Amino acid sequence: MVFIRRFAEFAREYPGVPAVSAASSEVSYGQLYNSALRVAGMISLTGSGAMIGVMMEKSIDYVVSVLAVHLLGRTVVPLDKKYPIERLRGMIISIDLSLCLLNEQENAELTVMLNEQTRTLNINEPTTAALGTDYPAIKTDISDELPAYVVFTSGTTGQPKPVMLPYRSLTTLIDWMGKTTAQTGTTLLYAAQGFDVAFQEIYSALCQGDRLLIVTDEQKKDLHALTTLLLTGGVTRLFLPTSMLIPLVTFNLRDLAVLVNLREIICAGEPLKISPAVRQWFKANPQCRLINQYGPTETHVVMEHRLEGAPENWPDLPPIGQVTPASTAYLFDDNLQPVMPGHEGQLYIAGSSLALGYYGMSAQTAEKFVRHPQTHERMYNTGDICFLNEQSLFEYVGRRDRQLKIRGYRVELKEIETVAANANLVDECLVVARQSGQTTTLILYFTAQASDQDFSMSLHRHLLARLPDYMLPSFYKKISAIPLTQNGKVDLQQLPQVGAMQSNRSTNYVEPLGELETRVCELAACCFGLDHVGATDNFMDAGANSITLISLLAELRYALAHAFRQTDLFEYPTPRLLCSFYQRSLEATQPHASTVAIASSQQNRSAAIQRSRERNGG
């Protein structure tokens, strides 16, 4: 039974059961289903094509819109408003989007983004909303081979690739999860709209009769707020990017709130690392199970490993596990010959989970989706290097190309280089990734006919307007030429050191003054994976990203016992400015407490720095 029919049947049978909660709002399965039918009717009246964009913040409206499109047997194209306008416009044009659902009035910025062929439909506009009232629509004969959604992933051409996942793939995943996971109660809708895990969260909950709880972007950026939501919302299942696991458990180890309801944490997106904090947290929370899932966008989840036994005995790098029943995994050498167990090979996936391909990109589809040399079944070449261990579990080794995962998102370094090379005055460019524990830092080396500092800022603005934040380099370095080896390959050893790679402090380094500044500088350096951060160094220029800022915010709150907000890190973006703000805030509320607060946090200094270092593998 296709997944959307499973949801519809439950909604008709149990209309009063709570379905989706967001902030102070909640709807039942019956209300959710009727709202989705209403929006489906509105869509039907537009005469639009199969591809339906959904551009709105995560909300009950967003879930309603996704359900409505699927009730019609059409294709959801999630569009994240936080992406740069130029990137969103390119995505919309690349798939010939005919209709985009909104839950607010179209503004000038959106008008620029959309092409002439794309109409908008505000599902909350009174006159428009009334149109769908008498037109309940549900398609009962949805073909498994129709695309259920299109999500975009990084591509080497400089343009994101639209991946089409069929109804078959999502149905297979949801059916399998229903058999392997008991009803959990409440699932958190955590993933970003443009991430395939969002569909997994929505339907693994709503096809089982569970409740879906929506987290805001502000709560995701604040470990205290996120923990409070997990606790008060009674969350029992959490899909979490691997890069967020260590910051969350590290914070919770010292938090008084115990997440007694949490039963499953499912990680995916990047290789899972079991740190001492992870072991300690799961030992203290035996009711919760850690699950490592694997699957590229072109297949979604095809492997899973559930960590069993005592956490102290878990491997530092767990396997990606066994193949799901509907999929088949092969390990081949460069000649498409099978490799023996224990030997490394390139991973190919076959089965009902495979994507239909890349929309409008037949050459790229033919390159990545190939035929098995003997059985001729269709396979996807993941590009991942793996081996089969003695327990017949797949273990991930790495990649030979220049693709990597950052905060769960696939990133092709070539795409960043292509976009950068289109900037005015840029001659050549090279992006290098530096790994420090769980943190990946991107460095852009470039040759240009312009001065260093001003042009670096101009180049950053060029990329900022065209790439999502997780693809933005942390450092920019102008060089005279890209160094090459005698064989004509890039000589990485000859590239100048940048940021924390530098053995000596830069000429702009300013020593922190006093214990407070010293402590903030040390915490920032540890959270960012750097050797040092100066008192006047800008957090963003030092290579901070969304994950490391979350960790820094938690450490500052703990070390200084002050309710810092993430916006404070942007308003006061250097240790010195932040310390001045902290002192003013403290004096305003507790005129005689500033010295005491600084002194009392001294005893926690070593522990805080150790926690930060552990997050970065130090």
Each residue's pLDDT tens digit, 65-74? 999 999 999 9
| Average pLDDT for the chain | 87
Q: Provide, rounded to the nearest whole percent, the portion of the chain with pLDDT above 90.
A: 56
What's the pLDDT at 601? 45
Residue 64 has pLDDT above 50, yes or no: yes
Mean pLDDT to the nearest integer, 597-609: 49
What's the pLDDT at 346? 96
**Pair (462, 528) in one structural domain:** no
Q: CA-to-CA distance for 329 and 319, rounded, in angstroms?
A: 14
Q: Is residue 577 part of a domain?
A: yes
Q: Domain ends where: 502, 528, 559?
A: 502
Mean pLDDT to the nearest integer, 20-34: 95
Q: With contact defined as beta carbons under 8 Å apart, do 189 and 212 qualify?
A: yes
Residue 485 has pLDDT above 80, yes or no: no
**Pair (460, 497) in one structural domain:** yes
Residue 17 has pLDDT above 60, yes or no: yes
**Pair (414, 486) in one structural domain:** yes
Q: What is the pLDDT of residues 393-439, one digit of tens each?
A: 999 999 888 888 888 888 999 899 989 988 888 888 999 988 766 67
Q: For residue 388, how far is the Cα from the chain centroid? A: 27
Q: How confident is the model at residue 127 (pLDDT cuts 50, 70, 90)?
A: low
**Pair (413, 495) in one structural domain:** yes
Q: How confident is the model at residue 504 (pLDDT cuts 50, 70, 90)?
A: very low
The residue behind tokens 């059916």 is 175
Q: What is the pLDDT of residues 183-209, one digit of tens each?
A: 669 999 999 999 999 999 999 999 999
Residue 320 has pLDDT above 90, yes or no: yes
Q: For residue 335, how far is the Cα from the chain centroid? A: 34
Q: With contact defined as beta carbons under 8 Å apart, do 174 and 148 qualify?
A: no
Beta bridge partners of 327: 351
Tell me, what CATH number does 458's domain have? 3.30.300.30
Q: Is residue 453 part of a domain?
A: yes
Torsion sign, CA atoms 521, 524, 527, 529: negative
**Pair (498, 519) in one structural domain:** no
Mean pLDDT to the nearest integer, 171-187: 88
What's the pLDDT at 106? 67
Tell me, what CATH number does 537's domain have? 1.10.1200.10
**Pair (436, 469) in one structural domain:** yes
Residue 502 has pLDDT above 50, yes or no: no
Q: How confident is the model at residue 132 (pLDDT cuts 50, 70, 90)?
A: low
**Pair (471, 429) in one structural domain:** yes
**Pair (415, 490) in one structural domain:** yes
Burial 100-120 (b: 16+ CB within 10 A, else e): bbbbeebeeebeebbeeebeb
Q: CA-to-CA distance for 519 and 512, rounded, in angstroms?
A: 9
What's the pLDDT at 492? 84
Q: Which domain holds residue 552?
A: 515-585
Residue 523 has pLDDT above 60, yes or no: yes
Tokens of 493: 């050893």
Beta bridge partners of 341: none
Q: How confident is the model at residue 154 (pLDDT cuts 50, 70, 90)?
A: confident
Q: For residue 494, how far is the Cα from the chain centroid? A: 33
Residue 590 has pLDDT above 80, yes or no: no
Residue 500 has pLDDT above 60, yes or no: no
Q: Is residue 331 part of a domain?
A: no
Q: What is the pLDDT of residues 533-577, one digit of tens each?
A: 899 988 877 778 888 888 899 899 888 888 898 889 989 999 999
Q: How confident is the model at residue 135 (pLDDT cuts 50, 70, 90)?
A: low
Please choose, from the candidates 498, 508, 501, 511, the residue with its C-alpha nearest in 3D space to the C-alpha of residue 575. Answer: 511
What secondary structure letter does DSSP report for 21? Answer: E
**Pair (465, 547) in one structural domain:** no
Sequence length of the chain is 618
Highest mean pLDDT pick, 94-103, 150-159, 480-489: 94-103
Tokens of 215: 């987290």
Mean pLDDT to the nearest integer, 276-290: 93
Residue predicted with more confidence, 131 or 497: 497
What's the pLDDT at 614? 56
Q: Is residue 479 part of a domain?
A: yes
**Pair (498, 413) in one structural domain:** yes
Residue predicted with more confidence, 337 or 481: 337
Q: Is residue 463 part of a domain?
A: yes
What's the pLDDT at 503? 34
Residue predicted with more confidence, 139 or 69: 69
Q: What is the pLDDT of residues 591-602, one digit of tens each?
A: 655 544 554 444
Helices (DSSP H) in 211-284: which residue ranges? 217-220, 223-232, 242-253, 276-284
Burial 427-462 (b: 16+ CB within 10 A, else e): eebbbbebebebbbbbbbbbebebeeeebbebbbeb
Q: What is the pTM of this model?
A: 0.84
What's the pLDDT at 47? 85
**Pair (522, 471) in one structural domain:** no
Residue 441 has pLDDT above 90, yes or no: no
> 3-state class of 320 per DSSP?
coil
Q: Is residue 562 part of a domain?
A: yes
Q: Is residue 462 part of a domain?
A: yes
Cβ neighbours for 233, distance < 8 A, ≥ 6 positions apart:
21, 186, 188, 213
Q: With contact defined as beta carbons under 8 Å apart, do 151 and 194 qualify?
A: yes
What's the pLDDT at 505? 42
What's the pLDDT at 593? 56
Q: Is residue 129 part of a domain?
A: no
Highest mean pLDDT pick, 111-115, 241-245, 309-313, 585-589: 309-313
Q: What is the pLDDT of residues 360-373, one digit of tens each?
A: 999 999 999 999 99
**Pair (497, 448) in one structural domain:** yes
Q: With contact defined as beta carbons under 8 Å apart, do 12 and 138 qualify?
A: no
> In angstroms, what CA-CA distances link 540 with 1, 413, 530?
49, 20, 13
What's the pLDDT at 146? 96
Q: How many domains does the chain have?
A: 2
What's the pLDDT at 615? 53
